[in-house]
A = this chain, B = another copy of it.
């Protein structure tokens, strides 16, 4: 097993992150690369979900994953074990990634050899929502133990996400979690959001997330 490549991300120097994000998105489009920005709270199951999903897609696409973490490389190692390219981005305590920081990772990752790039953002429902990474689409994971009221309490995160995965549905019965109420709360924040309930542990629903990614990668290739 190769060592995981670790990149110490530097603070961006761009005056306008929005402009930089739009530029990055246009470049990705020109290259036919689909970049997903995946966000969530700590411990909602981002890495486990990715491992399950990669197992379904790795024979179809060239996949690369960027793992943002404050100072460990546990997640990048776990992803690399699935056989795809993974790099670790060390944020030095920063609470989010912006477009300039995302580009530093992508420059290492892509080099024309990737169809599907995934950024596992810092575990935080607040700051990552405020900074456009330049990703083609934004997705987030809300896990059952966090509660169905979270779209009410972290409005911006749910507003900017194209896709919301509701994870850990295998433990629904042990928590006061109302999945219909949760969907209602998500759609109140973003009526266009796609919502997919999954269990990364049992695999339930993960095929639907893989289908969504297949369609998006296809769109990126055709664009």
State the A residues within 8 Å of B (CB): 41-43, 69-72, 74, 93, 95, 122-127, 130, 143-147, 149-150, 152-156, 168, 171, 174-175
Tell whether, in the assembled complex, residue A125 and residue B42 are in contact, meaning their CB atoms are under 8 Å apart: yes
The minimal Cβ–Cβ distance linking A181 to chain B, given in whole angstroms, is: 13
The minimal Cβ–Cβ distance linking A201 to chain B, given in whole angstroms, is: 9
Tell whether, in the assembled complex, residue B127 and residue A126 are in contact, meaning their CB atoms are under 8 Å apart: yes
Tell whether, in the assembled complex, residue B122 and residue A123 are in contact, meaning their CB atoms are under 8 Å apart: no
CB neighbours (8 Å) of A175 from chain B are: 171
CB neighbours (8 Å) of A95 from chain B are: 95, 124, 126-127
Across the interface, name the chain B residue whose C-beta is closest to A94: B126
CB neighbours (8 Å) of A143 from chain B are: 43, 145
CB neighbours (8 Å) of A41 from chain B are: 41-43, 123, 146
Please indicate which of the listed interface residues A143, A150, A175 has the most CB atoms of chain B within 10 Å of its own CB: A175
The minimal Cβ–Cβ distance linking A35 to chain B, given in whole angstroms, is: 23
Tell whether, in the assembled complex, residue A93 and residue B156 are in contact, meaning their CB atoms are under 8 Å apart: yes
List 26 A–B pairs whose Cβ atoms lie within 8 Å, in order of A's numbering.
A41-B41, A41-B42, A41-B43, A41-B123, A41-B146, A42-B150, A42-B154, A43-B143, A43-B145, A69-B153, A70-B126, A70-B155, A72-B153, A74-B149, A74-B152, A93-B156, A95-B95, A122-B126, A123-B125, A124-B126, A145-B145, A145-B146, A145-B171, A171-B171, A171-B174, A174-B174
